[in-house]
Structure 1
């Protein structure tokens, strides 16, 4: 992603120094510097008049810009052009100036004399904020920060209830409907997303765990582009390395993904840890998968209560999906809803493992026949959750067994064997 940068530097020598450094930044496109505050505002106004997308992602304001003082100029630019990230260049690194610059609307502060590392970091952070803001304002762009897209987590009441199958099919449905979609495997010890989609890729979520600023290039290096169009961020091949993914790094990873992709589906497995607990807390929608048997339903109730105790998520903010549903089972969806206190997906997934056997054994879950009642049901659930632009035809042709209908809706952020396996 190219970052367009407009320097506002009145001093000719300082301008040359800034341009020299900017020209060394990867994927940076510095414009000719403007010499005063009036020229800066006029230039931005002209570009905004054509389109918000014509605005530079980053504006650098030198402390000696005039005639308007730097902080006043930053405030004006931030108010008039909120999709632009502003960085102040100054020799004063005091906490007081830093606070004043942030209050004025700056996205960062780079101290004189300029260093490549600091300037690169500030520019990258401001650019990420800018592209995220443009997504939030509905102007498109390939964003990597800010509110971003919808995050859906999928958690199993216990192992083997179909967690990974659900996550994979929800992501495939979203991608097929035209959404840019990422599928993340946060089942850190036992993740099987790669096996379900016939993927061999050496990079994983662990490669992002120690990075404090996840740039577009770093993220793209860790993500596998699947033939279906899905972006896959996989679990580590060595399960013990999952411990390297902390709750803090999980928050950064989910934030980066949600602001680059319209839909982010996270397979959280059935074992709770700090990383997937963070993802569940951040999610717009948390799906809890259970089968209609005593052990699984007891597990679902236990998880819901734990989430509530740890203030991760309330029961009423959780959507329970019943997998392997049959009208002959003693435990029916309305009872599961009463036991767990959660909302219930309007579509229950039928018990029909024979449809899945070939796709599971070959690791080609993305080639599951559209006539599969399991696929139809899961794609219908994707429609209920708002993950598809229009309900996929596969989910409209019938064949999905219906459980008790519950209102399904996401919430915004506050801050194994499928069909038989997870």
Structure 2
């Protein structure tokens, strides 16, 4: 049996060394190394989207892979692609790291400098495990094996531009179209999704922060099932507790949600921290909400530049939504596109706060009138981003703007193809 192997090695010299050894293994079919964690996840998602059988049996993760740390990357691969055997390559052979890698989901650990015999043994063991899992899945085992749900983050260029309204309506649109959808409040200090949807629930995202293995049961205990069908993971009632949610915890939480829901919408607020930065880096689509005024557009430019400096997301991978759009304003979407370097949403959302005031004041955002121009525009944006199921006979989900379609507005790692349009609220 041929064993397909995908190495994830960032250092060129280490990649050449690993590739040379892999080429000597019997019945091995090594793929070209991927250079970072994002490329690894994107590659596996693309293969899984074609067919589970297309996934490699073994993935090798080098300890110096980035930007996501190796153990966190192993955990994400194990959660999203459980039929893949992961082997960690590391110079640290301590019992502590061995235990941590096993807890993360690795099937083996190969120590540096690599030896042929050890690498062959670890690859063979991981491949046998992978084959056994796939045989089990072939008999109808109820195990998640898809590329994972689509994750969309919504960030405000500054406070008060309407990021929360956008996030709520995108999630409602996805749920109403027939997708299983989760709405997450990662505006950890000042999040108010609970107030927008008239929810009183004691559990929050903080309850998951200290858990290293988020099982479906643990996740279901932390989320609130809203009357609309949305699963809500709320911000803590005490804002200071938001500091308990680290970037590592956020990665685990997003991965767990992605493995259970088809669409995950995350409200990241307007203040950056490690948790929402991790979510934005992991997202398939990052929406940046601004209003057509100088202060907000400057804020959007600062955020985009900061994301680029921190290697969270490139400007061309960000979709900017202009809120309170008015054709008579001096600042128009093409100007914002030039200033920020981002892609502009093709959807114009008009400035019509009167439509929103009643449902905002009553905490019934989910009851916004379907005739509302704001709601119609935001649900059109959900369609533009691929978050709603197409009508019967239309293009299937995989052909839209969802994860894996890298040339679309919902994809990543592809320049060009921008559109212009308006904003929202």
TM-score (norm 2): 0.63
Secondary structure, aligned partner of 2:260: coil
Deviations 1:334-387 (A, max 9, x none): 111111000000012100000011100110000100000000000000001000
Shift of 1:265: 0.4
Q: Which residue of 2 aligns with 1:409?
A: 410
RMSD, aligned α-carbons? 3.5
Indicate the residue corresponding to 1:220 in structure 2. 220
Q: Show the counterpart of 2:287.
A: 287
* 2: CA distance, partners of 1:182 / 1:270: 20
Conserved 8 A contact 1:284-1:412: no
CA distance in 2 between counterparts of 1:331 and 1:140 reads 55
**Runs of 4+ that moved beyond 6 A:** 93-97
Confirm whether residue 162 of structure 1 aligns to residue 162 of structure 2: yes
User: Is the 1:196–1:364 Cα contact (8 Å) retained in structure 2?
Assistant: yes
Q: d(CA) in 1 for partners of 2:324 and 2:299? A: 16
Q: Distance in 1 between matches of 2:222 and 2:244?
A: 15
Aligned residues of 1:322 and 1:348 also touching (Cα < 8 A): yes
Aligned-partner Cα distance in 2 for 1:242–1:370: 34
Q: Quick check: 1:103 aligned with 2:123?
A: yes
Quick check: 2:321–2:424 contact (8 Å CA) kept in 1?
no
- How many equivalent residue pairs? 296
2:326 aligned residue: 326
DSSP-derived class of the 1:328 partner = coil
- Cα distance, 1:328 vs structure 2: 1.0
1:160, distance to aligned residue in structure 2 (A): 0.1
Q: Residues 249 and 146 from structure 1, CA distance in 2 versus in 1: closer, same or farther, beyond 3 angstroms? A: farther
Hey, what's the Cα distance between the residues in 1 that align with 2:128 and 2:171? Answer: 36
How far 1:105 moved relative to its partner?
5.0
What is the CA–CA distance in structure 1 between the aligned matches of 2:300 and 2:167, rounded to whole Å?
Answer: 17
Unmatched segments (≥5 aa) in structure 1: 1-51, 54-81, 88-92, 110-125, 393-405
Q: 1:332 to 1:259 in 2, by over 3 A?
A: same
Asked if 1:384 corresponds to 2:394, the answer is: no
**2:181 aligned with 1:197, yes or no?**
no
SS in 1 for 2:153: strand
Is structure 2 residue 310 aligned with structure 1 residue 310?
Answer: yes
Measure, in 1, the Cα distance between the counterparts of 2:179 and 2:244.
Answer: 31
1:108 CA drift (Å): 12
Whole-angstrom distance in 2 between the partners of 1:360 and 1:281: 30
For normalisation by structure 1, the TM-score amounts to: 0.64
* SS of the residue 2:191 aligns to: coil
Cα distance in 1 for partners of 2:278, 2:128 equals 27
Q: Which runs of 5 or more residues in structure 2 are unaligned?
A: 1-50, 53-80, 87-93, 99-106, 111-117, 393-406, 415-422
Name the residue aligned to 2:368: 368
Deviation of 1:147 after TM superposition, in Å, equals 3.7
1:181 matches 2:201: no
Q: 1:86 to 1:386 in 2, by over 3 A?
A: closer
Structure 1 residues 147 and 85: CA distance shift in structure 2, 3 A? closer
Quote the residue 1:123 is aligned against. none
Deviation at 1:242, TM superposition (A): 0.1
Q: Is the 8 A contact 2:153 2:280 kept in 1?
A: yes
Indicate if the aligned counterparts of 2:108 and 2:126 stay in contact, CA closer than 8 A: no
CA 1:273 to 1:83, structure 2 compared with 1: closer, same or farther past 3 Å?
closer
Distance 1:130 1:252, change over 3 A: farther
What is the distance in 1 between the residues matched to 2:246 and 2:350? Answer: 36
Q: Secondary structure in 1 aligned to 2:241?
A: helix
Larger radius of gyration: 1
Give the Cα separation in 2 of the matches to 1:376 and 1:164.
16
- Distance (Å, rounded) in 1 between the aligned partners of 2:141 and 2:179: 13
- The answer (yes or no) to whether the contact 2:377–2:424 under 8 Å persists in 1 is no
Q: Deviation at 1:141?
A: 5.4
Q: Distance between the aligned counterparts of 1:175 and 1:85, measured in 2?
A: 30
**Cα distance 1:83–1:190, how it changes in 2: closer, same or farther (>3 A)?**
closer
Name the SS for the 2:276 alignment partner.
Answer: helix
Q: Give the aligned partner of residue 30 of structure 1.
A: none
Judged with a 3 Å threshold, the aligned counterparts in structure 2 of structure 1 residues 407 and 243 are, in CA distance, closer, same or farther, namely same
After superposition, the Cα gap between the structure-2 partners of 1:314 and 1:105, relative to the gap in structure 1 and judged at 3 Å, is farther
Equivalent in the alignment of 2:71 = none
Q: Map of 1:96-175 to 2, 5 A cutoff?
A: 99=110, 102-106=122-126, 143=144, 147-175=147-175
User: Is the contact made by 1:151 and 1:258 (CA closer than 8 Å) also made in structure 2?
Assistant: yes
